[in-house]
Amino acid sequence: MASSLTKDSVHPGTPGTEKTFFGHPRGLATLFMTEMWERFSYYGMKALLTVYLLSGGPDAGKGSMGGGLAMNVATTTVIVSVYSAMVYLLAMPGGWLGDRVWGPRKTVAIAAVTIMSGHIVLALPFGQGPFFAGLALVAAGSGLLKANISTMVGHLYNGPDDPRRDGGFTIFYMGINAGAFFAPLAIGTVGQKVSWHLGFGMAAVGMAIGLAAFLIGTRNLNPKSNIVPKPLSTPERTTWLRKCAIWVIIAAVFYGIVGATGHFTLNWAMIPLTVIGLLIPAGVLLRIKRDKELSADEQSKMTGYIWFFVAAAVFWMIYDQGASTVQAFGEGKASHDLLGFDFPTSWYQSLNPLFIMALAPVFAWAWVWLNRKGKEPSTIVKFSMGLVLVGVSFFFFLIPLAMAANGTAVSPMWLVGIYFIQTVGELCLSPVGLSVTTKMAPAKYASQMMGVWFLAVTAGDSITGLLSNPAVAGVDLGGRGAVFGEALLVALAGFAVWMYRRKVKALMGEVR
């Protein structure tokens, strides 16, 4: 395999050679399979996460098989939110390691091994310590992989003008949603019906298949993906290693003292992580905005982009509660029976990828059709539509919350409706956000801005974690008052973006 990684001759899957995968370079099949199985492992584990944390506790659903960590909804929401925040936060250092240290290909291989190791640790029934260590490994590996595998997809094509490029990314993203759809059905069923840890073990097997597909298919990838674009110099490497060692020692000493004195609780980890999840996005945006090397036009665009970023953080704050607050409601207060069929509540997490696969082609066609008629909504209007819709999903959530107040188990179709509305909102906002990020990025930060967009997810999830944490705000995010307040907040944010659309449009310059 080593020779195939360094060989400079033309590979069968590189641009300009034989098309073997739906008319695309053969390397796309390798990356498709790798990403599909990685998403299978990631979303399978995530589908089990909330119900496993609740199982055995006061908020577990009726008929839960027990054996989980017996936590309440508030603590569960904090953990799920911090975990999601860290996955997206770590995408930035993941991209940096790919650019400066290992190169995209080696970074993805290391990421896959790290993720697989995390799932193996989760599969071990040894209590809370190993469980959180496994979560940390999966989050770190996912951050490493997320930033680099898409880069390798781009390497398969002859630059941004290659006519096959958009189609290739579409196929690649179908792999993401296919893995995300099947994972809760398979891993969720085994985890909730047979054994939690066997379910986590299935996630490890899924990542092992993805790693094997990647290693076998590396010969079909562009040799560029094995190159470190901007390697660290020896002095830079020494400086970075010294800084990392210092911070590791400080953290080890500090938490060693806290643990040795018997004061350690989960909040000693959760609260610092949620604060970091807010400070880093704010710091990154401030650093870019204050860069004196940016032109006046780039400064204006960054001011406009901050509007989009803050609005996106509010969007993801509510949207990502589909895996915590809404999932917990489905576990504890909704019927687990539909048309006489008893189903595991982890299956709710298959709804979003199912709706994405069904609706994404419809939206793509609709935008083109409206464009031909001169009626396609602008970027700003699409963004505000996404915000309003995710707010509507939580207004809709108020109905089953009221119905369940007297102990009645509501129909699972209410949750189907919530996930459907949120998916429509996501299709209005998320693709637009990705596009506007690339268009408004200052030239100096062009390669970093996609990581900045992911930080909006980190910020949104961190806000959720701080709000739900009993030691900080202690808000019951599953209560009707909180759900109404969040729905109103995000709907008003969408309305504000729409009201100030002319001002934001002026800041965007030529970007439309």
- 312-333 tens-digit pLDDT: 999 999 999 999 999 999 999 9
CA 465, 466, 468, 474: dihedral to nearest 10 degrees? 160
Whether residue 85 contacts residue 169, with contact meaning beta carbons closer than 8 Å, is answered with no
Residue 365 CA from chain centroid, whole number: 26
Separation of alpha carbons 82 and 79, rounded Å: 5
pLDDT of residue 503: 74
Whether residue 490 contacts residue 393, with contact meaning beta carbons closer than 8 Å, is answered with no
pLDDT of residue 511: 57
Please work out, in degrees rounded to the nearest 5, the angle formed at the alpha carbon of residue 54 by the alpha carbons of 413 and 265: 145
Closest CA to 281 of 317, 326, 324, 230: 317
The single residue listed with the structure tokens 């901007």 is 230
Closest CA to 105 of 145, 165, 157: 145
Least confident of 208-212, 298-302, 453-457: 298-302
Phi and psi at 410, nearest 5°, equal -80, 165
Greater confidence (88 vs 60) lies with 88
Section 454-468 average pLDDT: 96
Greater confidence (506 vs 382) lies with 382
Greater confidence (270 vs 447) lies with 270
Section 403-412 average pLDDT: 93
Check residue 193 and report its DSSP letter. Answer: H
List the beta strands (DSSP E) in 375-506. Answer: none
Residue 173 token pair: 């993203």
* pLDDT at position 120 over 50: yes
pLDDT of residue 252: 94
Q: Which residues pair with 24 in a beta bridge?
A: 21
pTM of the full predicted structure?
Answer: 0.90
Closest CA to 390 of 413, 370, 362, 418: 418
Contacts of 253 (CB under 8 A, 6+ apart): none
Instruction: Give CA separation, 102 vs 14, 37, 107, 229, 230, in Å.
Output: 21, 23, 6, 9, 10
Separation of alpha carbons 461 and 318, rounded Å: 8
Phi and psi at 71, nearest 5°, equal -95, 160
Separation of alpha carbons 163 and 160, rounded Å: 8
* pLDDT at position 9 over 70: no
Confidence label for 11 from pLDDT (cuts 50, 70 and 90): very low
Contacts of 415 (CB under 8 A, 6+ apart): 326, 329, 330, 334, 348, 351, 400
pLDDT of residue 343: 93
pLDDT of residue 419: 98
Confidence label for 123 from pLDDT (cuts 50, 70 and 90): very high
Whether residue 180 contacts residue 43, with contact meaning beta carbons closer than 8 Å, is answered with yes
Contacts of 160 (CB under 8 A, 6+ apart): none
Whether residue 188 contacts residue 349, with contact meaning beta carbons closer than 8 Å, is answered with yes
Interhelix angle 91-100/128-155, nearest 10 degrees: 50
Interhelix angle 449-468/128-155, nearest 10 degrees: 160
Confidence label for 12 from pLDDT (cuts 50, 70 and 90): very low
The mean pLDDT of the chain is 89
Phi and psi at 122, nearest 5°, equal -60, -30
